[in-house]
Each structure stands twice: as C-alpha cells, then as structure tokens.
Amino acid sequence: MSRIGKQPVALPDGVTATLSGQTIEIKGPKATKTFTATDDVTIVIEDGQITVTPRGKSKRARQQWGMTRTVLANMAHGAKEPFKKELEINGVGYRAQMQGNTLKLNLGLSHDVDFEVPEGVTVTAPKPTALVVEGHDKQLVGQVAANIRDWRRPEPYKGKGIRYKGEYIFQKEGKKK
C-alpha cells in the first residue's frame, strides 16, 4: 500500500482545481498547470482536497497511485509559490553571470560555458559564486539545476566544482610521499 497515495492533497488558499476525465487543471495566482493521469488511478476533487485512489491491485496501479498524488501536490504548491534550488560555485577563478537568457559559466575549462535557460525557469546570480534556480515546475527546476551542476561536479580532493547549497562532499586524503 502506498503511504503517500493515501494522503489527500490539500489545495492552498487561492488555488483551484478542475477535473475533466483524467486531466486535471490546477490554477493559482502564480501559475496554471495541467496533468493527465493514467487510467490506473481515479482522481476525485471534493472539499478543497484532491484524493487519488488506484483502480485495481496491479503493481502499475500502485506505482501510479503514489506518483500521481506527488505530482498533484507539487503542482498545487507550485501554483502558489515557486520552487527554488541554490547552487554554490567553489574554485579559484570559477564564476557565473547572467546575460539576458544565457548563463555564462567560467569553470576552468578552455572555453566559457553558455547555458541557455529554458522557458519557465529563472536563474539569477546574486554573487559570482552563487546561483539561484527558480520556477513553478519542481521537476524542471531540479533538472535545470542538475544540468548546471553537471558542467563541473564537485571533486573529492579539493572540493572544487558546482554543488547544491548545503551539500556535503566527502573530502579524500591526497597522495603522501
């Protein structure tokens, strides 16, 4: 049994949901999102809450039950306020700056990296060594942050690279003479 799927999704103030077939539309003050659920689950909206129940006891129905509930909860939260991921850049000469819709990264490579920010996500660089990725779609925000991080992952010897704020990187001991 899905423990996550059992919990109803409470709609925050100012957020409304409409259901037509298996497609649900969530409107809020900041964003409007739609999601089409599979035929393995049933969605019901009542009393400002969305409940998801599986159709049958198959493995796929139980998988879709928890996943659908989580996606709907993220959509309801994102319609009210944006999701945020913060990144830190560590390393001598490593820096980032925004130029229009392009993020320019100087990461010690032989060339600067130009990262095009996709639609629906905003990236800001409050400091040359800090980045903030914001948007109303949790999956897209996480994917953009991961794509930026992939340009120079933190290495375990000196700790240089791009890391999530608060992420712990285990430091290895170097070679000894």
- What does the pLDDT look like over 14-48, one tens digit per residue? 999 999 999 999 999 988 999 999 999 999 999 88
Question: Per-residue pLDDT averaged across 159-173, rounded?
Answer: 92
Confidence grade of residue 3 (pLDDT, cut at 50, 70, 90) = confident
Confidence (pTM)? 0.87
Asked which of 80, 107, 137 is the last residue of a domain, the reply is 80
Question: Per-residue pLDDT averaged across 148-171, rounded?
Answer: 93
Range of the domain at 7: 3-80
Q: What is the pLDDT of residue 7?
A: 92
Is 176 domain-assigned?
no
**In the predicted model, what is the mean pLDDT of the chain?**
93
The token pair that represents 52 in the structure block: 């998801």
The region, left, alpha or beta by phi > 0 then psi within -120 to 50, assigned to residue 154 is beta
Asked which of 55, 80, 105 is the last residue of a domain, the reply is 80
Which residue is associated with the tokens 């003050």?
29
Instruction: Assess whether 34 and 97 both reside in one domain.
Output: no
Share of the chain above pLDDT 70, in %: 99
Please name every residue paired with 145 in a beta bridge, in sequence order, or none if there are none.
Answer: none
Q: Say if residue 9's pLDDT is above 70.
A: yes
Instruction: Assess whether 64 and 90 both reside in one domain.
Output: no
pLDDT (tens digit, 9 = 90+) per residue, 107-136?
999 999 999 999 999 999 999 999 999 999
Phi, psi (deg, nearest 5) at residue 57: -120, 20
**How far does CA 141 lie from the centroid of its chain?**
4
Q: What is the pLDDT of residue 1?
A: 62
Confidence grade of residue 2 (pLDDT, cut at 50, 70, 90) = low
Question: Per-residue pLDDT averaged across 77-98, rounded?
Answer: 94
Confidence grade of residue 58 (pLDDT, cut at 50, 70, 90) = very high
Instruction: Assess whether 72 and 97 both reside in one domain.
Output: no
Instruction: Assess whether 90 and 63 both reside in one domain.
Output: no
Instruction: Assess whether 133 and 75 both reside in one domain.
Output: no
- Give the span between the Cα atoms of 163 and 145, in whole angstroms: 10
The number of domains in the chain is 2
Asked which of 32, 57, 80 is the last residue of a domain, the reply is 80
Angle separating helix axes 138-149 and 59-80, nearest 10 degrees: 90
Is 177 domain-assigned?
no
Is 48 domain-assigned?
yes
Is 169 domain-assigned?
no
Can you give the CATH number for the domain in which 133 is found?
3.90.930.12
